[in-house]
Amino acid sequence: MLRRMRNDRTLALLAVLAGVVLIVLAIVYWIEPARSLPSFFPGHEAGSGHHHVKHGIAAFFVGLALFVFAWFKTGPKRASTPVT
């Protein structure tokens, strides 16, 4: 029981961290053109002024979903959580 609670907390913490990273990623995609993205980012393109708005939207919504996941995981245990 205690172990499961600890696992849930760890999962929630990881989800929040990943969520924050993804939201930051989304903002970077929205404000930086493809040429200014770090080379390890999907969509990096030398010399391109294109903004990867869609990549940003995808990252934002996945980040949001991870926050919701963490919100449910750390809630009271009487109800089921959305992802099992």
Partner 1 sequence: MILGALISYPQAIVLGLLQGVSELFPVSSLGHSVILPKLFGWNIHQNDKYFLTFLVATHLATAIVLFCFFFRDWVRIIRGIGRSLRDRGIDPDDADAKLGWLLVVGTIPAGILGLLLEHSLRKVFASPTSAAIFLTLNGLLLYGAELLRRRAPVADAEDDARIGRTVTWRGAFFVGAAQAIALIPGFSRSGATIGGGLVVGLSHKDAARYAFLLATPIIAAAAILKLPELFGPDGDGVRGQALVGAICSAATAYLAVRFLMRFFETQTLRPFAIYCFAAGLACTIYFVAT
Interface residues with partner 1 (CB under 8 A) are 54-55, 57-58, 61-62, 65, 68, 71-72, 74-84
> Hunting for tokens 């109800």 — which residue is that?
79
Smallest distance, Å, CB 4 to partner 1? 15
Closest CA to 15 of 23, 26, 27: 23
Query: Token match 């907390």: residue?
Result: 9
The residue behind tokens 């294109």 is: 50
C-alpha 7/C-alpha 46 separation (Å) is 42
- Tell me the closest approach of the beta carbon of residue 67 to partner 1, in angstroms: 11
Q: How far is the CB of 75 from partner 1 (least distance, A)?
A: 3
In the bound state with partner 1, the residue whose beta carbon lies nearer, of 24 and 57, is: 57
- 28 or 65, CB closer to partner 1? 65
